[in-house]
Amino acid sequence: MTNERISFDEQLHLFLKLGYKLNDGIDRNTFLTDLSRIEGIENIMEDFEAKPFVKLYYYLGNTSTDKFLRYTDNCIWYDIEFLDPSSQYKSFMERMGLITNGEIKFTDIEIITDSLNYEWIKFKANGTYKEWKLQKKGYIADSYFNRFAKLTEELGTKGKYTYFDDGGQQFVIDYATPDEQKQFIKSTGLSREWLGEGNHFSQPID
């Protein structure tokens, strides 16, 4: 990660240049207003510049606290704890399709619980029926995330899901082709990985 001081506006311009599109109703001031309200930081610009691209990348995947709109549909800021309640598996999968810009479409998503109290998510990915075993009801299946990495291999997609964190349990999931991944890392200096290649989550239950 670079130690160079880069202004908020320069960072935002670079993300936009890399293809991140702000949703309708979101602009530069939305970020600054939200950060000031949530974190009470007097020098907002200084805070963004302290960790170039890190804070802004997290914010891009988040939802505005003021307007209740997602900043962009190109990436997802997440926390493992958000999978409680289990209905969040469904909403997360819907967003995982959205960030692929149409390359992967998830439909007919439903959550069921079997006779052994294990939860399953059943769905179609690009029209192909799938079912994934999660965890027993009441427990969080963090292996859920790695399943998406395997899915891109099965579907033979051009892009793959990516993963980034700065050491905490919160993270950003994105979607990129190999060339886009190289360009992102070169431009931002962030050590973004391919989802499923690190030891961030447990392996799926058979």
Does 100 share its domain with 166?
yes
Quick: pLDDT tens for 39-90: 665 567 777 888 899 989 998 998 887 777 899 999 999 987 777 777 888 9
Domain of residue 100: give its range: 77-206
Does 89 share its domain with 168?
yes
Q: Cα dist. 192→94, 133, 174, 189 in Å?
A: 22, 28, 9, 9
pLDDT category at 3 given cuts 50, 70, 90 is low
Structural domain count of the chain: 2
Tokens of 156: 């033979």
Percent of the chain with pLDDT over 90: 61
Q: 22: closest CA among 55, 77, 52, 61?
A: 61
E runs forming strands in the chain: 76-79, 106-113, 118-125, 128-136, 160-164, 170-176, 193-194
Does 111 share its domain with 201?
yes
Q: Please provide the DSSP assignment of 53-107 as one string.
A: THHHHHHHTSB-TTT--BSBSS-EEEEGGGG-STHHHHHHHHHHHHTTTTSS-EE
Q: Of 74, 98, 115, which one is at a domain's C-terminal end?
A: 74
Q: What is the pLDDT of residue 53?
A: 95
Mean pLDDT of 138-152: 90
Q: Which amino acid is at 42?
A: E
Average of per-residue pLDDT values in the chain: 89
Does 54 share its domain with 111?
no
How far apart (Å, rounded) are the C-alpha atoms in residues 13 and 98? Answer: 22
How far apart (Å, rounded) are the C-alpha atoms in residues 140 and 12? Answer: 34
- Torsion sign across C-alpha atoms 76, 184, 51, 143: positive
Does 64 share its domain with 108?
no
Q: Please give the radius of gyration of the chain, using alpha carbons only, rounded to the nearest integer.
A: 18
Does 139 share its domain with 55?
no
Tokens of 125: 């990915």
Is 114:173 a contact under the CB 8 Å cutoff? no
Q: 80: closest CA among 162, 169, 198, 197?
A: 169
Q: 73: closest CA among 201, 174, 195, 197?
A: 174
Q: What is the pLDDT of residue 83?
A: 72
